[in-house]
Structure 1
């Protein structure tokens, strides 16, 4: 033992001067030298660097209590609540890889008139929640506590700043979660309910309802843990009072129902709290703009009503997004869906998820992961744009048109008065 202690002390003595010298050298580095290094080496190529989302600074926020952000990317690599094909635990990794071309210096979003990565919002990639694959009940608890921890911290941008969203979410951070299967939305909603102290409006894009009663999957072999699955989480959330029954909506629905009739649509239950927009409705409504109008009419633009945006990648047709666990033919195209997302930028979104990306079923071009990364980019853009104090204009940077329309609306209101 004395020999071991002596060796340890010797190592520490050797390491001490080196560490001290390194620290001292960093402290006295001239500013012009640092500026030179940044000019030479700060640039990053899409194919280089650590695989964080959009090359954002990676921080393990859950073990860094002082980490602060306005918007955080968090991975939820969990897929043991699926009913068909597993593999979405690898979704966060695939989406991050697919986001590689989203570099801050080249990410100006023309339709929104803003570069979300070079605006007011502090953004971090907070890594992944370490979720157990062995116990779904414990996994749900881990996700809930992680979401609550990350949402409870004050945002970098305070409520009294001219930047940042106003209303109920002022001064609060927002999470964009990369799934994982869709059951991760339940702990997210439980955490958001604790933060906002009121039922959350859910805007849900999916091929499936996800409001199934848990007995749909097994009427005899049931347990409390079996209730937590990727098809029943909105049923549970509704019965717990987490979801607003007057403002929530499904979009892109095209699922088969149980039994021999449409009882899943008509029986009294949590599913009746959602407006349903079927995938086929896009034709009758006149395209994506018609879908947008239906959503806004239902959800509303109330700054005091929090909206959670939940995107199952199977809302897209498997012809363009095959890498998912429960594919359903007849979905929206990537272009149609992105257009819809761009049309709902004024909703009061306080959190979002992109789920059910299962890369083992994706194609060689990784089109599912690419679509998911673009969905995340559009959502992040809208979150950042909502916190800009001036009017940045509308579609594809047509600021003049947008401002002209605003002026007409103001004149119309004055005439009515």
Structure 2
């Protein structure tokens, strides 16, 4: 009896080991050679073609991180399927699954980012897809207050773990910790408020780069009314609340791509009260992508921890039609990707992409592919920058020079 128990435990351990090291393999045993040819350079770890298999971001290994506290990573993708804070077209609750679908081809040829000269899929970093924040008992659909609490706690649970790399080195988080980076797939833009609450618990107030066609700093009485606390928090007011709660580093935040109509010039005055500078989309006609990049860098600085929030409606509807509140006159996908690459020197600690509503996309999946490609650039920047502990190395060297 004891020998049978020991044998069973050994088989479980072997299976767990194979699951950990061969997470991409779906076939094992005598038939494995039919699917894994061990061609030079592929390590024999990829069996499925890009149009088969389950969808994870960029076909990354999947781990149910929220239910397994022992999982470690340096960068984790996390879905937040929430869209009941939107004011126009719903559907961003399907954004996480749509973005994953649009990301299937990202590492088809190996994943090397030519402009940034890095490969985010094959580097020092352990990168995982941790799935979605679960909507237990459907609260993410029916109870906004509880949903925002779920998103904050789920994000903080992943953010506050020790990373796979440099966990014991000094980092920029509170108490000198080095933390992993979390990239969140929305969801409408309301989710950025609980995400910033989580970031604040780990880092304190941070500088924010906000790519969007809308300001999203409206006072609740101006946007959506405020008959209740629940109604006052939506995808147009979350930055107002973030400023009120002290989540933003004053006067180091910036909007980029703005082109919406306003209730009046006073909206810009209120926006300044929240600590943002504005770069309108039309500025690209005069200063080009390089000018946009420089304005962002000058505003947030190269030393501060930076959070990046990107609404897919930054892109013109010609390039990203599947979004909740489309605005014409936006940037092209190429322009946005160029601007993002220009931010490689910044200290991105986390990011989100929001307002992808696949139901309004074309059959060609234009929006979901654009969203995936934008995240590919963001992930590449994080990988190229190295572990967040290196941010402290740069700060220490500056102190030495003084």
Q: Would the TM-score normalized by the shorter structure come out above 0.5? A: yes
Match of 2:194 in 1: 187
Paired with 1:185 and 1:25, the residues of 2 have a C-alpha distance of 41
Match of 2:228 in 1: 223
Paired with 1:27 and 1:199, the residues of 2 have a C-alpha distance of 40
Match of 1:251 in 2: 256
Q: What per-residue deviation string (whole Å, max 9, x for no partner) do you get for residues 290-328 of structure 1?
A: 1001111111101xx211000000000001110001000
Q: Are 2:209 and 1:207 aligned?
A: no
Of structures 1 and 2, the larger Rg is shown by 1
Match of 1:151 in 2: 159
The Cα shift of 1:269 comes to: 6.0
Paired with 2:292 and 2:272, the residues of 1 have a C-alpha distance of 25
Change (3 A) 1:71 1:268: closer
Change (3 A) 1:60 1:343: same
Aligned 8 A contact 1:253 1:276 in 2: yes
Q: Are 2:322 and 1:328 aligned?
A: no
Matched residue of 1:214: which SS? coil
Matched residue of 2:141: which SS? coil
Match of 1:410 in 2: none
Match among 106, 113, 117 for residue 109 of structure 1: 113
The Cα shift of 1:62 comes to: 0.6
Paired with 1:64 and 1:388, the residues of 2 have a C-alpha distance of 23
Aligned 8 A contact 1:91 1:180 in 2: yes
Q: What per-residue deviation string (whole Å, max 9, x for no partner) do you get for residues 179-236 of structure 1?
A: 000011000100101101x2110100000000011112344x6101111100000000
Match of 2:394 in 1: none
Paired with 2:266 and 2:16, the residues of 1 have a C-alpha distance of 70
Aligned 8 A contact 2:313 2:327 in 1: yes
Matched residue of 2:121: which SS? helix
The Cα shift of 1:171 comes to: 2.3
Match among 103, 108, 130 for residue 99 of structure 1: 103
Aligned 8 A contact 1:104 1:115 in 2: no
Match of 1:263 in 2: 266
Paired with 2:13 and 2:152, the residues of 1 have a C-alpha distance of 43
Query: Which sections of structure 1, spanning at least 5 residues, go unmatched?
Result: 1-14, 390-417
Aligned 8 A contact 1:239 1:270 in 2: no
Q: What per-residue deviation string (whole Å, max 9, x for no partner) do you get for residues 84-143 of structure 1?
A: 000000000010011101237610111111111100000110000023210100001000
Paired with 1:111 and 1:382, the residues of 2 have a C-alpha distance of 11
The Cα shift of 1:22 comes to: 5.4
Match of 2:337 in 1: 338
Q: What per-residue deviation string (whole Å, max 9, x for no partner) do you get for residues 230-261 of structure 1?
A: 00000000011100121100000001111xx3
Match among 277, 283, 286 for residue 285 of structure 2: 283
Aligned 8 A contact 1:72 1:125 in 2: yes
Q: Structure 1 stretch 208-217 or stretch 372-381: which is displaced more?
A: 208-217
Change (3 A) 1:293 1:218: closer
Change (3 A) 1:342 1:20: closer
- TM-score between both structures, scaled by the size of structure 2: 0.84
Q: What per-residue deviation string (whole Å, max 9, x for no partner) do you get for residues 143-177 of structure 1?
A: 0111111111010112566xxx9645862100000
- Superposition pairs of residues 141-180 of structure 1, within 5 angstroms: 141-159=149-167, 167-168=172-173, 171-180=178-187
Aligned 8 A contact 1:318 1:331 in 2: yes
Match of 1:301 in 2: 302
Paired with 1:256 and 1:28, the residues of 2 have a C-alpha distance of 56
Match among 54, 58, 65 for residue 69 of structure 2: 65
Q: Structure 1 stretch 130-139 or stretch 77-86: which is displaced more?
A: 130-139
Q: Hey, which bits of structure 1, 4+ residues long, moved more than 3 A?
A: 15-29, 33-41, 165-170, 267-271
The Cα shift of 1:76 comes to: 0.4
Q: What per-residue deviation string (whole Å, max 9, x for no partner) do you get for residues 256-302 of structure 1?
A: 111xx31111248634x1110000001121x1111001111111101
Change (3 A) 1:269 1:299: closer
Paired with 1:24 and 1:379, the residues of 2 have a C-alpha distance of 36
RMSD of aligned residue pairs (Cα, Å): 2.9
Paired with 1:252 and 1:366, the residues of 2 have a C-alpha distance of 22
Aligned 8 A contact 2:56 2:62 in 1: yes
Q: Are 2:129 and 1:122 aligned?
A: no
Query: Which sections of structure 2, spanning at least 5 residues, go unmatched?
Result: 19-27, 39-43, 389-402
Q: Are 2:241 and 1:242 aligned?
A: no
Aligned 8 A contact 2:217 2:270 in 1: no
Change (3 A) 1:268 1:21: closer
